[in-house]
Amino acid sequence: MPKRKNIVVIGGGTGTSVVLEGLKKYNVNLSAIITTADDGSSSGELRKEYGMIPPGDVRQCLVALASRDFGYLNDRFRQGSLTGHTLGNLLITLFFQKNKDFQQAIDELLRVTGAQGSLIPMTLKPTTLIAKLQGGRILRGEKNITPSREISTKLSSLYLAPKNIPANPRGIDAIENADMIVVGPGNLYSSIMPNLLVGGIKKALVSSGAKKIYISNLFTQPGHTDNFTIYDFVKAISKYTGKDIFTHIIYNNRPIPQEIFKKYKNSIISSQVQIPASIKKDKRFLGRSIAKLSPRLAVPSDPIAKIRNPFLHDSKKLAKAIMELV
C-alpha cells in the first residue's frame, strides 16, 4: 500500500475548519497549525482571565475534525454571565485548567471527540498581534486590527509581542515531515499572517520541500485588502516569508451571483477577489468551483456576528481540488 500523505494546513478558525472538514474524509495524515493571536470576544476574555492562549480558532477546527457532529461546541450562551461564550471554549478552558498544558488539553479533546488528526497551536505562549501604521501609530491586538479601515493604506509592519515568540515544536515537526502544506483561506492579516510571524514556523515553511498550496479568499475585506487581485494576496504573504513559496494556488472560478452577494454584504466583505486574465499563463493557478453559494446565518448571541463573513468555501469541493494535487 502507498504511504499515507502528510498534509499540514496553516491558518485560523473558520477558513481552516472548512479545509479540515473536507480533507478528514480522505486517507491522509492531517495536521493543522492554528493562529493563537486572538484577543477579542469569548476567546479574549478567557485568555485574560486564565492566562492561556485563546481557544476560539482551535475550537472551530476541533469541531471540524470530530468523528461525529459536535457542532454544539460552537453554540454560544445567550443570557446570564456566560453570554457570548461558546460551550467549546469553556470546555477547552476546563481541560487546560486540569492539564496546565494547552497542547495536552487539545490532544485529550481530540480523543474525546474521536477526531482523526492533530491540532497544533502556533505557539503555546500568549502573544499579541501588533500593527504599526505609517506615522508610528500602533494598533494593538486582533480586536483592534480586524475592524480597522486603515490597514490597506497605512500598514507599515505587522509583528507579534513579545518578540521572538517560540514556535510550538510540534508545528515545526509537522511542517518538516509534510508532503503538502495548505495555507488559507482566512482573514489575511489576523488569521494567516500571525502564523508566519512566528520565526520557527516561517523558517520551517520556507525550507520545506513539500508542495505548498495557497487557497485564495473569495472576497476582499474593506480597509484591509481593497481591490486585491489574487496576485496581491500572494504578494502580501511573500513579503513576510521573504519569497513566493507557493507551488500551486487554488481560486474560485464560479463567482457568487451579485443579487446574493449584495444582500449579505457586510463590513467584513467588500468585493469578490479579482482574477486577472493573465493567470492563465501561470500553471500554478487552478480555478475550481469551490464557493458555497448559500450564506451562513448569523447567530444572535454572537458578539461579532456583524463582522463575520457569511460566505464560505464548500468543504467537499475544496478538499477535492486539494486532493487532485496529492
Quick one: pLDDT band at residue 301, thresholds 50, 70, 90?
A: low
Whether residue 56 is predicted with pLDDT greater than 90 in this model: the reply is yes
Number of domains in the chain: 1
On whether residue 98 sits in a domain, the answer given is: yes
pLDDT at 162 over 90: yes
Q: Say which residues have a Cβ less than 8 Å from residue 306's Cβ, sequence separation at least 6.
A: 266, 267, 298
Domain that holds residue 268: 6-325
Query: Which domain CATH number covers 312?
Result: 3.40.50.10680
Q: Is 1 a domain residue? A: no
Q: Is residue 76 part of a domain?
A: yes
Mean pLDDT of the chain: 93
Confidence tier at 218 by pLDDT (50, 70, 90): very high
Cα–Cα nearest to 325, from 11, 16, 26 = 26
Residue 209 in any domain: the answer is yes
- pLDDT for 258 equals 84
pTM score of the predicted model? 0.95
Question: Does the residue 115 lie in any domain?
Answer: yes
* pLDDT tens-digit series, residues 79-121: 899 988 999 999 999 999 998 999 999 999 999 999 989 999 9
Tens digit of pLDDT for each residue in 224-263?
A: 999 999 999 999 999 999 999 999 999 999 988 888 887 7
Indicate whether 300 pLDDT > 70: no
Mean pLDDT of 175-184: 98
Burial 235-259 (b: 16+ CB within 10 A, else e): ebbeeebeeebbebbbbbeeebeee
**β 155-161/128-133 pair status:** antiparallel
